[in-house]
Structure 1
Amino acid sequence: MKLFTATVLDNERIMPATNVLTMGAGRAARSAAPGQFLHIRCGDAAAPLLRRPMSIYRVEGEAIQLMIRDVGEGSAWLVRRQPGDELDCLGPLGHGFRLDASARNLLMVGGGYGVAPLVGLAERAIRRGSNITLAVGAATSELVFPTRLLPAEVEYLVATDDGSVGYHGYVTELVRDRLAWADAVYACGPVPMMAALARIMREGALRKQGQVAMEERMGCAMGVCLGCVIETTRGPLRVCTEGPVFDIHRVVWREEAPHLGGAHGRNGAA
């Protein structure tokens, strides 16, 4: 973890209100892993006061990419950055996803913008010879992550709430069909989505490995303010330092609902 200045190299709109920001990050990129995040100062003045946590989407050489949804003051400032602009960053922070060498078939589940860290994870796993199925839920077709940005080796399953593309309904039913095949499960998205996934695994795949990237509001991102604490079977843990990635079986889920998908996920903070 360190404070560094990143230089914007590219800014591409990939979906409505969603941009991919590519930044030259030097040594920070070489140590970054899917599931980790950067804490970014979003403004040139005193406001907004707090930095914003942004999940790492992809890493290419010494460049870090962020997938940012324009939903608040901080993210709106970020999506307006242009090549040559500089960003005050802290990171990479937290613990990312872990790839088990013995797990060959990987099932990844993304809810809306929660797909972001799973793309980089899929790329790393493919280089290690893994088979990847990525299941994504979104509210409507225009909010589905573009196929063109995925590795060709990925089996891509889509469910939309309105049935405008892919399966009409929740991704939950698609996940059930793939659990027996999967050696490990990785997920990122809204809490109700991951709680539903945890319930499905508890009922039919309790011994199967599962990791989830949690999203909570953060103040300091250094474990001091305790604003991002979640309950686990090992007691309260901080998302910013002990996470953001946790064992799915160890999280005490506050909300379990059948919904698995929708248009919310990481990088939807203000």
Structure 2
Amino acid sequence: MNHLRAPVLSNIEVMPGVHLMRLEAPGIAKEARPGQFVMVHCGGDTFLPRPLSVHRVEGDRVALLFSIVGKGTLWLSQTKKGETLDMFGPLGNGFTINPESRNLLLVAGGMGIAPLYFLAEKAASQGKKVTLIHGARTRDALLPVSLPQEYYEKGLPPAGVNVVTATEDGSEGFKGLATQLIPHYLKGIDQVSACGPVAMYKSMAKMPELKDKDVQLSLEIMMGCGVGVCYGCTIKTKKGLKQVCKDGPVFGMKEIIL
């Protein structure tokens, strides 16, 4: 784990209320793998650091994609280029790409795209065939493809990744929920990885089509310390109590109790 003050290289609003921040963090960039996160200290009157998924790694740089949900992330959204942030990581257990897997299905609900973009890039770079379903309430909540190439130099979406969109209001792609598309893209799929709200996971757990699949879920939950000391993110699993920050945030779907 690295504890450092990372210079902010850029901080732009890519969607309403959603920011993409790039930082110089060599140690974290070198060790990070998809599904892991960092803890970022915020200014103002905030006390606890905020957990943010690693969205991308670009050489010595780390990209974080986050939405403004409170005082901490509001403060982060106002951070300027050249300022530094106190942060530590990477933390937690991320997604596993099985060596034998050839076809991966990724399912992102809303801001679940944050860690899954990193996973999509990684899997595609290993020669895997990747399909990414991204669902949101409206097209304004989907990661736009018109961002400057300097932020996504390998392309958006990454080369080799088939992106399928779903919006609840039908403003882009399939009209409905991302989970409704899952059965249509399971043929030949070796493993499924998802990140989104608990309601999405409950729906997936009821799907007979996923019963015999390797399904990994990334849990989004409030955290205090990020290293397993405060027990603030403890959940019940079929194997007993687990800490999301230390044992997760990625768990097998058959392991957790939804």
In 2: Cα distance, 1:227 partner to 1:184 partner: 30
Match of 1:217 among 210, 217, 222: 222
Shift of 1:2: 2.7
In 1: Cα distance, 2:34 partner to 2:80 partner: 24
Partner of 2:98: 100
Structure 1 residues 175-184 or 20-29, which shifts more? 175-184
Higher RCO, Cα 8 Å, sep 6+: 1
| Residue 73 of structure 1 pairs with residue 80 of structure 2 | no
Contiguous gaps of at least 5 residues in structure 2: 147-155
Give secondary structure in 1 for the equivalent of 2:182. helix
Shift of 1:204: 2.0
Give secondary structure in 1 for the equivalent of 2:206. helix
Per-residue CA deviations over 1:229-249 (Å, capped at 9, x if unaligned) read 111111110000000011111
Shift of 1:187: 0.3
Match of 2:126 among 123, 128, 134: 128
In 1: Cα distance, 2:90 partner to 2:159 partner: 28
One-letter code of the match for 1:173? Q
Give secondary structure in 2 for the equivalent of 1:5. strand
TM-score normalised by L of structure 2: 0.93
Partner of 2:177: 170
Give secondary structure in 2 for the equivalent of 1:147. coil
In 2: Cα distance, 1:3 partner to 1:152 partner: 32
Matches within 5 A, 1:30-179: 30-43=30-43, 47-148=45-146, 149-179=156-186
Which segments of structure 1 move beyond 3 Å, counting only runs of 4 or more?
A: none
Aligned residue-pair number: 249
Structure 1 residues 149-158 or 96-105, which shifts more? 149-158
One-letter code of the match for 2:39? H
Give identity over the alignment, percent: 42
RMSD: 1.2
Structure 1 residues 174-183 or 120-129, which shifts more? 174-183
Give secondary structure in 2 for the equivalent of 1:117. helix
Structure 1 residues 51-60 or 2-11, which shifts more? 2-11
| Residue 186 of structure 1 pairs with residue 184 of structure 2 | no
One-letter code of the match for 1:26? P
Give secondary structure in 2 for the equivalent of 1:102. coil
Alignment check: 8 A CA contact 2:108 2:178 kept? no
| Residue 234 of structure 1 pairs with residue 249 of structure 2 | no
Contiguous gaps of at least 5 residues in structure 1: 254-270
